[in-house]
Structure 1
Amino acid sequence: MTDHRTATVTRTTRETDIAVTVDLDGTGKSDIETGVGFFDHMLDSLSRHSFIDLTVKAKGDLHIDFHHTVEDTGIVIGQAIKKALGDFAGINRFGHAYIPMDETLSRASIDLCKRPYLIWKVDFLRDKIGEMDTELFKEFFHALAGNGGMCLHVENLYGENNHHIAESCFKATARALRMAVAPDPRLQGKPASTKGSL
């Protein structure tokens, strides 16, 4: 495959100014700047393990809190992935992964079907990881799924370390996404659907 599936999306509101570029056929290179350290770390992991090259430049009202920046970044990444996928034809469509991190195990399942839905079964034992509110992870994945046309299920099966719980969820989603966006030549450019379209 020579033509890379790429997209750039920008979104500016009174709360955030975000630019995202994705290359679905990349090698997992990332250039992330959101102003939220732990979130940058998670997005770098998402890029690395999905093999999606990801550039994120986000400026937000961090003096208020991190909510707008995290949620809006999820919106724009989702929009960029959806744009890069075009008509969603010729791809595996489904993906899944289990990711262990020491005492923690998480799984993610994805259907790239243009019908957004999020199931989030993840509980944290602390309110924050670093300076980031743990409740914002659900907001990110909800925005990602909703704007990326994904049916996304993310579950932490067990774990105690909050860093491990969060990171395993991002890595599981990355691996599931890597599987789902991969082209399958046997589809001959058609959607993976009995209906003939998504």
Structure 2
Amino acid sequence: MKAPPETKRADTPLARTSAAGTIEGYASLFGVADTGGDIVMKGAFARSLAKRGAAGVKMLWQHNAAEPIGVWTTIVEDAKGLKVTGRLDLSVARAREALSLLRAGAVDGLSIGFKTERATTDKASGLRRLQAIDLWEISIVTFPMLTQARIEAVKRIAARTPDDMRAALARLRAQEAALRFQHRLQSARL
């Protein structure tokens, strides 16, 4: 019988955002027990990342396979845990909603969806140590199982001044005037 996929949620806060919806954080931390009694060990993701790479790990909303909301651009194990950088696809309505919630601080959790490949259970404590994990997806979630797994950065677009906005409006008006002139020239030739 095939084992069902598992999910682990980690809490690490998300604080900066870019106009492109870039996010950064830790999806998992090494050596920290989550609320489900699992501890991810350093190196647990190595084989999966070598096989799949960041492009092969899906970015989902709340572990819902029907709601992909972006792509992970970088996933690496460092001394602390599984560090991730990704980009929300802002042409997707749910990704725009997620970005808004992230910026407001209403949502900031990350959670991994995986299949356990190798683990041991400590009989005295009942804690399961995950030594090898086949990572399938990383979700942005409301309540991560590992409370420290959080988005640490939602990169913000630089604030625009009124002068910046007036200059942008002037450029648009000039482009519109040029297009109208070009259209009149073409109509006169016909």
Query: Which band: TM-score by shorter chain?
Result: under 0.3
- TM superposition score normalised by structure 1: 0.25
Identify the structure with bigger relative contact order (alpha carbons < 8 Å, sequence gap 6+).
Answer: 2
- TM superposition score normalised by structure 2: 0.25
Q: Which has the higher strand share?
A: 2
Q: Which has the higher helix share?
A: 1
Higher radius of gyration, 1 or 2:
2
